[in-house]
Amino acid sequence: MMLRSWSFFIIGCWVVMALIAPMLTNIADTIDLDKLLLSPFNYGPLGTDELGRPMWARLASGAQTSAWVALLVVGISASIGTLIGMLSAYLGGWFDRSVRWVIDAFLAFPHLLLAIALAAVLGAGIGNLVLALTVVGWVGYARLARGQTLSLRSRYHVLAAQALGVSKRTILWRHILPLLFAPLAIEATFGIAGAVIAEAGLSFLGLGVQPPNASWGSMIREGARYILTAPHLVLVPGITLMLVILAVNRFGDALRDKLDVRQ
Amino acid sequence: MMALVKQLIGMLTVIWVVVTGVFILLHLAPGDPVGIMLGESVGMDEGLLRKQLGLDLSLWYQYQHFLYGVVQGDWGYSIFYHKPVLTLILERLPATLTLAVLAIAIAICIALPLGIIAAVHKGAWQDKTAMLFALIGMSIPGFVLGPILIIVLAVDHGWFPVSGMNAPYAWFLPAITLGTALAAILTRMLRASLLEVLHDDYIRTARAKGVSESRVLIMHALRNAFLPILTLLGLQLGALLGGAVITETVFDWPGLGLLLIESINRRDYPLVLGAILLITLFYVMVNNLLEIAYRWLDPRIRNHDTGQG
């Protein structure tokens, strides 16, 4: 229980940081060459980076990036994936066969590698990053929604609705979708952790967010050059990133235990 | 036998999809390869170069040519190195494979004892500690763990080199970085699958016959718990190969992943897609071979296949 409230606290901090970041852009982007690479012990709460910008404001700006990317990627890929998966299972026939084929084809690629390839071809930038992660991400939701719908399709309440002549759309929307909610919520929680890691990873590789915008991944990338003299450039965003992912994963575990869904 | 043929046909289909996907990506990539190549050498005939590269032909013909080339080992030319793509990526492959094998070995060395201890002491502090380790291991990405290890073990203590692969023990930090996430997932999986089999009848029988507890665990339970782990290991290979790209970037490890990122930055698309093609083909083949091995190792699946088709 303590662990869970602890993870709530971290997630709360992440959200607050992301929300206040737009008010801090002036501070986060102001270069001050008199204050280069100051350690947290000498300046402010978290020190300054290689251009003299305060780390705490950069960190908030990175929180904003990761939160937006995670929200967009999970929101879009969960909606598209669920819709396709449900339709595929419920309609069956050639549509189901082709969807299953596409899902299998996507699963044949290692995920991160496919995202790297797409980001490389599309070019760097936050929009393309979201696009690349969504193209890779919808498959998991589609597979889950398809599997769940297949088993729900023969439940009595669905058969009863069918016998009463309820339209397909209403059955999917009112009788099947609400029952998909629990497993999808768990998948989406882990999806948020995955999107945060992927955004930071691609930005670390130079394929994501471009300067002057901050991402925790690009902060680590830039900071790695000063690892001998100013390790806080890597440690501050690195530990923050780790804590956020840890909290989201822990939250997902707790959610799964509570909703008691077998994987 | 039927199942094996089906498996092989499935594998070939997937390989065809991968090759086609790479061809599509190659043509979606921004910038005309001829333009990029001419950018470096002024005075060359654009039309001639286009003809030499076969870019004046129809897309369908280019696609057939590409498929044929991939099968024949002609994977195109690197724009930056002016060398065949296949030669370049095969030069870098051993470093990546070494790293991956070492990472898997480290992951198994960590996960095996932790998973067993956690399952045997379910609910006790040993279990909770192991699961906490697993949660942290799953949550710490390579580009965070790598630099932390460098700061603590290479910079502060000087026990290991900061980067490269030539110094003795240079492999240790990269392999730990890459193997940690896998170790965490394996620990969780091993615990879960051990807990499942530990309640089975044959375990109770073995215990009733007076077989020692350690023998029950290792000879009876672990053997059966291993099968799902094998499949998981194959699926995790994808994450491992993706992770290798990041780990190699962190440690300047001269493998395929580093080549991939360098080529992306140089806009050397034939090399980028060649590297992706090779890694994906490797992943697909290993997974299919594992599935065949899985069939062979588990008589229940084997008999099911032959008995009921």
**The pLDDT of residue A108:** 74
Cβ-based contacts of B261 with chain A (< 8 Å): 205-206
Q: Which residue has the tokens 């402010």?
A: A44
Cα–Cα distance measured from residue A126 to residue A128, given in angstroms and rounded to the nearest whole number: 6
Q: How far apart are the first and last CA of chain A?
A: 23
Cβ-based contacts of A217 with chain B (< 8 Å): 143
Whether the per-residue pLDDT at B58 is higher than 70: the answer is yes
pLDDT tens digit sequence for A203-247: 998 888 887 788 999 999 988 888 888 888 888 899 999 999 999
Residues of chain A with pLDDT under 70: 1-4, 260-263
Cβ-based contacts of A105 with chain B (< 8 Å): 14, 17, 21
Cα–Cα distance measured from residue B109 to residue B106, given in angstroms and rounded to the nearest whole number: 5
**The pLDDT of residue B290:** 81
Cβ-based contacts of B250 with chain A (< 8 Å): 224
Q: B99: burial class by Cβ within 10 Å (0-12, 13-18, 19+)?
A: buried
Say what the ipTM of the complex is. Answer: 0.83
**CA atoms within 13 A of residue A55's CA, in its CB half-sphere:** 30
pLDDT tier at B307 (50, 70, 90 boundaries)?
Answer: very low
Secondary structure of residue A49 in the 3-state scheme: coil
CATH 1.10.3720.10 matches B94-256: yes
**The pLDDT of residue A263:** 45
**The pLDDT of residue A2:** 54
Where in the sequence is the domain holding A112, given as residue range(s)? 61-259
Cβ-based contacts of A204 with chain B (< 8 Å): 143, 246, 249
Say whether A200 and B14 touch across the interface (CB within 8 A): no
**Is there a contact between A212 and A29 (Cβ–Cβ < 8 Å)?**
yes
Give a yes or no: residue A205 inside a domain. Answer: yes
Cα–Cα distance measured from residue B216 to residue B214, given in angstroms and rounded to the nearest whole number: 5
Q: B251: burial class by Cβ within 10 Å (0-12, 13-18, 19+)?
A: buried
DSSP string, B69-128: HHHHT---B-TTT-SBHHHHHHHHHHHHHHHHHHHHHHHHHHHHHHHHHHHHTTTSHHHH
Whether the per-residue pLDDT at B92 is higher than 70: the answer is yes
pLDDT greater at residue B32 or residue B308: B32
Give a yes or no: residue A240 inside a domain. Answer: yes
Tell me the pLDDT of chain B averaged across its residues. 82
Percent of chain B with pLDDT over 90: 19
pLDDT greater at residue B188 or residue B25: B188
Report the length, in residues, of chain B.
309
Cβ-based contacts of A251 with chain B (< 8 Å): none
**The pLDDT of residue B102:** 93
**The pLDDT of residue B304:** 60
Whether the per-residue pLDDT at B79 is higher than 70: the answer is yes
Q: Which amino acid is at B234?
A: G
**The pLDDT of residue B166:** 74
Give a yes or no: residue A231 inside a domain. Answer: yes
Give a yes or no: residue A11 inside a domain. Answer: no
As for how many domains chain A has, the answer is 1
pLDDT tier at B30 (50, 70, 90 boundaries)?
Answer: low
pLDDT tier at B33 (50, 70, 90 boundaries)?
Answer: low
Say whether B250 and A224 touch across the interface (CB within 8 A): yes
pLDDT tens digit sequence for B232-291: 787 788 888 888 999 999 998 999 999 998 888 887 878 888 888 888 888 888 888 887
Give chain A's radius of gyration (CA, Å): 22
pLDDT greater at residue B158 or residue B304: B158
Give a yes or no: residue A45 inside a domain. Answer: no
**The pLDDT of residue A261:** 57
**The pLDDT of residue B303:** 64
Question: Which residues are registered as beta bridge partners of B84?
Answer: B77
Q: B39: burial class by Cβ within 10 Å (0-12, 13-18, 19+)?
A: exposed
Q: Which amino acid is at B6?
A: K
Whether the per-residue pLDDT at B59 is higher than 80: the answer is no
Chain B interface with A: residues with Cβ < 8 Å: 14, 17-18, 21, 25, 28-30, 135-136, 138-141, 143-144, 147-148, 150-151, 155, 162, 237-239, 241-243, 245-246, 249-250, 260-261, 264-265, 269, 272-273, 276, 279-280, 283-284
Say whether B140 and A111 touch across the interface (CB within 8 A): no
**The pLDDT of residue A6:** 85
Q: How close is the nearest chain B Cα to the Cα of A120, in Å?
A: 6
**CA atoms within 13 A of residue B75's CA, in its CB half-sphere:** 22
CATH number reported for the structural domain that contains residue A149 in this entry: 1.10.3720.10
Chain A interface, mutation test: which of B19, B129, B144, most A Cβ atoms within 10 Å?
B144
Cβ-based contacts of B141 with chain A (< 8 Å): 197, 200-201, 241-242, 245
Q: How close is the nearest chain B Cα to the Cα of A252, in Å?
A: 11
**Is there a contact between B270 and B76 (Cβ–Cβ < 8 Å)?**
yes
Q: Which residue in chain B has the smallest CA separation from A250?
A: B135
- CA-based nearest residue to B97, from B232, B292, B278, B251: B278
Q: Which of B18, B144, B246 is the closest to A238 by Cβ?
A: B144
Say whether A116 and B243 touch across the interface (CB within 8 A): no
